Structure 1
Amino acid sequence: MVLIRFIAIFNQVLVLFLLVLLGFSFRKLEIVKPSIDQNLSGLVLNLTLPALIITSMNYEFSSERLANLSSVFFITLAVYLLMISVSYLIRFILPSTEKEKDIYQFMIIFANTAFVGYPVIDLIFGAEGIFLAAIYNAIFNLMIWTIGVFIINPRTSKQEFSAKQLLTPGIVAVMIGMLLFLFSIDLPGPILTTLEKVGGTTTPLALFVVGSILAQIELSRIFTNFKLWLITLLRLIVLPFFVLALLRSLPVNDLVLGVTVILTGMPVAVTAVIFAQEFGGDYELASEGIFLTTLLSGLTIPLMIYLL
């Protein structure tokens, strides 16, 4: 019975990784142009994902949902404080160059809670899960544009924080969704249907982008870098399972617990490469971390879901 249940979960998650494989194969075979990553990323982040967030928050107001939302907000803040603390500890004890430490620290803190996280949450929890995942990702955006920019290269980055950086389409969608939820506003039928159809393309497009990005990564150094394996162990197993054990000891409902733990256990964020390129970090190491953690998350994500 246990084995059958695990296989059923694995098969569900396998669908997501087949979509990643599709993007990987099309890029390797040069069926799509190199510009596909940037074009589809922009489409997902600026259009399809905001549409998915708005429709998933289009619920009638209830005190239970508001309590769940508040719980996810404060738990997510605590989880990020935990990951930041662990990242500084690893930075202190890990024998590496300063530029490598920047990337390792970034990889511990920032997971792929959007391109992989949303599809997994949608698969397991549906719209109610997306509703809460949007709050988790709102805090992700706050963290990545503040401490993330500083960590990726603290010695040469002169980027100053601007509140405008937080006003992304995803954050705007959360604000709109909150208004719809708090005031129980029903969207007109044609608008809701349009947003649902657009938002429904988020999962395949996002995972196609992940696969395409992974196709560009040089594999030769990945499997012999023990430090990268250590970071992978922390990102995929230690951190999420520690959060799981901690939340199980608290009066937290299953939905809040599940969304928080699964998003905490996602592979390294693809923005690690983007930020490394933008701010002079080690983007090759960031790419290797994305590949290894995304590959192994095909095993750890079903395990997390099974334990939940």
Structure 2
Amino acid sequence: MDLTTVLSQVLVLFILITIGVILRKFNIINDSLGKGLSNFIVYATIPALLITSMNYDFSKAMLSNGLLVLAIGPFAYIFAMLVGYIFTKIKHIKNPDRGIYQFATIFPNGGFMGFPIVAVVYGEIGIFYAGLFNLWFNIFLWTLGMILSTPHKNKNINFKMLINPGTIAITIGIVLFLFSIKLPTPLFQALDSLGDTTIPLAMVVIGSMLGESNIKDVISNKLIIITTFLRLIIIPLPLLFILNLLPLPNIVIGIIAITMSMPVAANAAIFARKNNSNYKLASELVFLSTLCSIATIPIFISLVVKIVGV
């Protein structure tokens, strides 16, 4: 494992965000294009990425570890939910911003940033387990996440939300793995190419949203700083120590801990934009947490290697 490679990957994402800022400042990406690209990412590129990331032949060892990842996943997210709820309660944050801050605390950037960084540490097999862990991300994202990112109406949970591009794609991926089904080469290559656009598109879109904000407001907002601290340190660190006390394979502990140490999910800004909520605040949370993660991710991975191993 090369920590320099990890740092380089994070820097690439941050540069893409900066490009998005510049494109917005010059009005190359306007409001309507930004919203259209957000929908394209949610409904097309993310599902393609999820399906192709699970293209493995079936094995009992992978299934066993995968089931452990699926079993532990809900508890990791419930812990993050509690942290987010307590934080917004103590700070008396009111809606709609309360929902955005809770969203940012709960959901890590496990796909856009987590997949490439996990791959650096564990190789392609790491993406497989991260994809399974991402199933819970998608379940909570399209239910609780939709509620938190909706400012006024439709606050009730509608379980039809579970039938969405993310969960459908993960289900297809699991079926392909369990039965060792290989997609026709042209179809796989098309989905793979489409999925590969997720990371650059998402980062550029976030940057374009950030281009509408005042950078000084980002670094002077104490609530944004606290949320970043919660997302990058307060949530993943206790999870790492708790998981290490359990009789779990090292790779299971590492995948969950590293994924939960990622910055605020890009979906925070994308969903807020889609649901007409405070997407500027959401993009600022993504921006600052991503910037700070340049330092925290390599440090956290070093800690995982020291405590758990790989």
Same fold, judged at TM 0.5 (above):
yes
Q: What is residue 212 of structure 2 aligned with on the other side?
A: 216
* Contact 2:24/2:208 (<8 A) preserved: yes
Q: What is residue 131 of structure 2 aligned with on the other side?
A: 134
* Residue of structure 2 aligned with 1:259, choices 251, 255, 259: 255
Q: What is residue 296 of structure 1 aligned with on the other side?
A: 292
Q: Name the CA distance, whole Å, in 2 between partners of 1:196 and 1:278.
A: 25
Deviation at 1:123, TM superposition (A): 4.8
Q: What is residue 48 of structure 1 aligned with on the other side?
A: 45
CA 1:138–1:8 in 2, change beyond 3 Å: closer, same or farther? Answer: closer
Which residue identity does 1:299 align to in structure 2?
A: A
CA 1:277–1:177 in 2, change beyond 3 Å: closer, same or farther? Answer: closer
RMSD between aligned alpha carbons?
2.9
Deviation at 1:181, TM superposition (A): 0.8
Q: Name the CA distance, whole Å, in 2 between partners of 1:38 and 1:66.
A: 38
CA 1:123–1:192 in 2, change beyond 3 Å: closer, same or farther? Answer: same
Deviation at 1:78, TM superposition (A): 0.6
Offset from partner CA, 1:128-161 (integer Å, 9 cap, x none): 233222323321232234334455579x544443
Q: What is residue 235 of structure 1 aligned with on the other side?
A: 231
Deviation at 1:193, TM superposition (A): 2.8
Deviation at 1:87, TM superposition (A): 2.1
Q: Name the CA distance, whole Å, in 1 between partners of 2:187 and 2:148.
A: 41
Q: Name the CA distance, whole Å, in 2 between partners of 1:95 and 1:229.
A: 16
Which residue identity does 1:129 align to in structure 2?
A: G
Q: Percent of counterpart pairs with the same letter?
A: 39
Asked if 1:199 corresponds to 2:195, the answer is yes
Which residue identity does 2:84 align to in structure 1?
A: S
Q: Which moved more, 1:17-26 or 1:292-301?
A: 17-26
Q: Name the CA distance, whole Å, in 1 between partners of 2:273 and 2:17.
A: 23
Q: What is residue 265 of structure 2 aligned with on the other side?
A: 269
* Residue of structure 2 aligned with 1:10, choices 7, 11, 14: 7
* Contact 1:239/1:264 (<8 A) preserved: yes
* Residue of structure 2 aligned with 1:22, choices 19, 22, 26: 19
Which residue identity does 1:66 align to in structure 2?
A: L
Q: Name the CA distance, whole Å, in 1 between partners of 2:252 and 2:33.
A: 35
Which residue identity does 2:117 align to in structure 1?
A: V
- 3-state DSSP class of the match of 1:139? helix
Asked if 1:306 corresponds to 2:302, the answer is yes
- 3-state DSSP class of the match of 1:221? helix
CA 1:191–1:272 in 2, change beyond 3 Å: closer, same or farther? Answer: closer
Q: What is residue 172 of structure 1 aligned with on the other side?
A: 168
Q: What is residue 177 of structure 2 aligned with on the other side?
A: 181
Q: Which moved more, 1:188-197 or 1:259-268?
A: 188-197
Q: Name the CA distance, whole Å, in 2 between partners of 1:198 and 1:245.
A: 37
Q: Name the CA distance, whole Å, in 1 between partners of 2:49 and 2:272.
A: 28
Asked if 1:65 corresponds to 2:62, the answer is yes
Which residue identity does 1:221 align to in structure 2?
A: D
CA 1:67–1:214 in 2, change beyond 3 Å: closer, same or farther? Answer: farther
Offset from partner CA, 1:226-262 (integer Å, 9 cap, x none): 2322221111111111212222222333332232122
- 3-state DSSP class of the match of 2:235? helix
Deviation at 1:182, TM superposition (A): 0.7
Gaps of 5+ in 2: 305-310
Which residue identity does 1:168 align to in structure 2?
A: N
Q: What is residue 144 of structure 1 aligned with on the other side?
A: 141
Q: TM-score, normalised by structure 1?
A: 0.84
Gaps of 5+ in 1: none
Q: Name the CA distance, whole Å, in 2 between partners of 1:99 and 1:42.
A: 21
